Amino acid sequence: MINEENVKHVALLAKLEFQDEEITRFTQQIDDIINMVEQLEELDTTDVPVTTHGLQTYSVMRKDVAVPGTDREKLFENVKSAKDGLIKVPAMIDNGEAGA
């Protein structure tokens, strides 16, 4: 059982200041929490698997496995202009070579 002296002592150690009515309220709240924990201790958890995390964890990273890509001919079906197997696009920067 927690008493007001325990709460005052912990408050002193934590360098916290409380009014007397707060100490009384905290004492009751802490005592209620301890009673709930004691109820949990009475439960038989022999066959309950250990829970290490509240949510099931999984890796969002896929395995690094090579897979066939899209057929090159199929990719080039919608290309407007191609040259030597590459997609030809308008020049973006004038470097003096392409006449951009």
The residue extents of the domains of the chain are 4-41
State how far the Cα of 5 lies from the Cα of 19, in Å rounded to an integer. 13
Which one is predicted more confidently, 27 or 63? Answer: 27
Q: What pLDDT does residue 100 have? A: 52
Distance from C-alpha of 32 to C-alpha of 79, rounded to nearest angstrom: 72
pTM over 0.85: no
> Mean pLDDT throughout 22-45?
94
Average pLDDT value for residue range 46-52: 88
What are the pLDDT digits (tens) for 58-96?
788 888 899 999 888 898 998 999 999 899 998 888 777
